[in-house]
Structure 1
């Protein structure tokens, strides 16, 4: 096991804080409320938790396995899966989504503690949103997970406020 340096502790703290706000936003919701689209977007709180879980899992796998874990940008099946990743599908529950999120978070936290070199990197797969030939370090990948989670926690906060007036902060 790698020593928990200040940098690794900071990464764990950033990930933990972003996850806390996303989970907090879902606190006390029913499955029906978690699946509610309360704005003009397609987003719902349960779907955001599901999406963040999938994205965190995929980027953590990228650190371990490299770009082969990323679906090609032009794969129509991957796009359908991606779109369904923002929805609560029949049979899915908020509790189940939160349990899976917790499991993935623990795995990522262990990766932060154990990955040998945060400077190691992999090439990013070809996609319109990546510069050709771009690479991403393990450190930058973990920062991306925290940023993505924080961004979607903000989305969830807006959706929650529209459902019942609750605000995560303020």
Structure 2
């Protein structure tokens, strides 16, 4: 594993940890509760990211542009199971992603992206590096959403929970 692998996976681990702080000590009811005009919930965010990591890992492994089953699922943001289920699924997906990325000799591996309704008409290619950066970006963005949702639930915020 290269220094780049270590740095990117280290940053991804940090943002994953930041995402999970707002989910501490929540009941399933709290995790499924909407607190803003958005449909986002803490449980739904964790489901979305668990599913997203699994889908991106499949895209990275196949590299052929095939569309993973569930990629177009519009219910990804709803909490269909318990919070503990999605926390476990997220931990599993994260560990599998990390293991696979560590196994790559280089992050320059080229990956053809699947065609989706929002894709440009021509095939797109990303490097494995770009996929890991996308996971970092997506997780960090949703960690901010999770903070807002948690603070709206009971006033708790990540800064206080880090102490």
Fold match, TM over 0.5?
A: yes
Q: TM-score, normalised by structure 2?
A: 0.89
1:62 aligned partner: 59
Instruction: State whether residues 66 and 113 of structure 2, in contact with CA within 8 Å, keep that contact through their aligned partners in structure 1.
Output: no
1:68 counterpart SS class: coil
Task: Tell whether the 8 Å contact from 1:46 to 1:88 is kept in structure 2 after alignment.
Answer: yes
CA root-mean-square deviation: 1.7
Q: 1:124 and 2:113 equivalent?
A: yes
Whole-Å Cα distance in 2 between the matches of residues 107 and 126 of structure 1? 24
Deviation at 1:128, TM superposition (A): 5.1
Q: Separation in 1 of the partners of 2:151 and 2:74?
A: 23
Q: How many residues align?
A: 158
CA distance in 1, matches of 2:124, 2:35: 37
Over residues 88-112 of structure 1, what are the superposed CA-to-partner deviations in whole Å (9 max), with x where a residue is unaligned? 12xx111111011111111011012
TM-score normalised over the length of structure 1: 0.86
Alignment-derived partner of residue 167 in structure 1: 157
Name the structure 2 match of 1:17.
14
- Asked if 2 retains the 8 angstrom alpha-carbon contact of 1:61 and 1:69, the reply is no
Deviation per CA, 1:39-84: give whole Å up to 9, x if none: 000100000000001111111111111221446xxxxx864xx222
Match of 2:94 among 86, 100, 105: 105
Q: Distance in 2 between matches of 1:15 and 1:48?
A: 16
Structure 1: gaps (5+ residues): 72-76
For 1:9 and 1:58, how far apart are their aligned partners in 2? 22
